[in-house]
Amino acid sequence: MGDVRKGVSKVDEQISSVTQSMVYTKLLINNADRTGEGEPLSVVNPATEELVAEFQGASLAQVNEAVTCARAAFDSGDWRNAEFRKAVLHKFADLIEENGDVLMETLISEVGTPVNLKLNHINTPAAFVRWFAEAATRDRSRNLGFNATNTAVSMVAYRPVGVVAAITAFNYPILIGATKIGAALAAGCTTVLLSSPQAPLTVLLLGDLIRRAGFPPGVVNIIAGGADVGRALTEHPDVAKVSFTGSVNVGRRVMQQAAAGLRSVVLELGGKSAAIMLPGVDFNKYALSLHARYARNAGQGCGSPTRILVEESRYGEFAEISRKVYPQIKVGNPRDPETIVGPVITAAQRERIEAGVASAVKAGATIIAGGGRPDMSKGWFLNPALVGGLDNQARLAREEIFGPVSVVLTYRTVEEAIEIANDSELGLKAYLFGAKDQCLKLAPELQVGTVQINGGSPLRPDAPMIGYKHSGVGAEWGEDGLREFLLPQHIDCALN
């Protein structure tokens, strides 16, 4: 037994050594590595509770320097050539994939993301950046022709807005960070990318790839820091536009800060997405994928189906089938390829999720399936939980909990189901399960930016991500997302 333990210890030491070698804490300003001079940041592995890194984030002076360098790069014209932008963005996408193992290892260490989500965290961002690379050379100008008196001819050209401040969330830092700067860069803007203070390491690691891809100095700058750094960035007079992903409350503050300088924003905020199981739908066909959808990444996804609507007469049937499939949703070591649910980001987040469920149960709700903590000595793990016995006015049914928890609500008619789904301040996504023709007919009635029918498909770079109501402002991804970083310019030319 002692020899086995020595062998395991040796493996643990090797893993620790590999992890430490991948820790990268330098800021990227004007294509140079910079040690932070601001407030300290600590990164703790949520699966092991061990300290991964402790370093200083950006100072306010370094925020100013990063924006100043981005503005100088924009004004220099070095980034105006669309074919050059296309080539560099393609190289960046290649490097993301080539360095996918290192990026994923860092992501597991700081976020606890299961390794089986590598496709979402590595391959998908690379594909999105490639799409933006191709979109960089598209001619969007419009010829308006002669005016009414035939004395002038007009056209509309599209110009990059300038310096873009891009701020990521912790849950999908590569996807969010790479696509934010990808859209802005394709449009001809320059950028300052600010990581979430809860997941800075993966974003900072992108800095080396930025240099190797051949971006000119100042075109992409990457910094880390807390709220003060974020405020200095969003209020900087040389920032033309702010793109932020995060909670609704923080999004409001970002919008207020940007408004002080009359700069516009793109906000991708929270969701409380409804999944409507229409009459006659086969629960067995969709139950596992539906529950895994809100449980994966420890439920830390804004588009998760966290309100499931079933016919009142079939509530018991849905509950029974759910209990049967729940054991297939594995909770555990994020490096295990079979794991679907890793840890949540912090101990405080786990306590907040548990308190929300406990409060609902105290008010009369029941745990249909799952719940509690797994038998693990370390890490901020939670079993996924399916909660019933609520109505749509319950707090657990209205607020984004950002954990592996969903509630089951009942309806009597399809019209009532649509009303319940729309009865929310949030409008990011909705899911419909049933006959395709019926789903397509109902989709326009849902007040959300995305409707997925019978599971839909993986993320696609040409489709916009838009939040209705409090779920966002503006669009991300696709042509709509790229155009957020362009300004139309009317050119009116007299004929004489």
What are the helix (H) ranges across 245-346?
248-259, 283-295, 315-325
Known active-site residue 134: no
Local structure of 53: helix, strand or coil: strand
Catalytic residue chosen out of the listed positions 65, 268, 400, 476: 268
Local structure of 243: helix, strand or coil: strand
Q: How far apart are CA 189 and CA 221, in angstroms?
A: 12
Local structure of 227: helix, strand or coil: helix
Written as one string, the DSSP assignment of 422-479 is H-SSEESEEEEES-HHHHHHHGGGS-SSEEEETT--S--TTS-EE-EETTEESEESHH
Catalytic residue chosen out of the listed positions 69, 105, 189, 302: 302
> Are 431 and 422 a contacting pair, CB within 8 Å?
no
Q: Compute the residue count for the chain.
A: 496
Give buried/exposed letters for 118-135 (b at 16+ CB in 10 A, else e): bebbbebbbbbbbbbbeb
Q: Comparing C-alpha atoms, which of 353, 360, 290, 356 is closest to residue 318?
A: 290
Known active-site residue 268: yes
Q: How far is CA 255 from the centre of its chain?
A: 18
Q: How far apart are CA 434 and CA 449, in angstroms?
A: 20
Q: Which residues are catalytic?
A: 268, 302
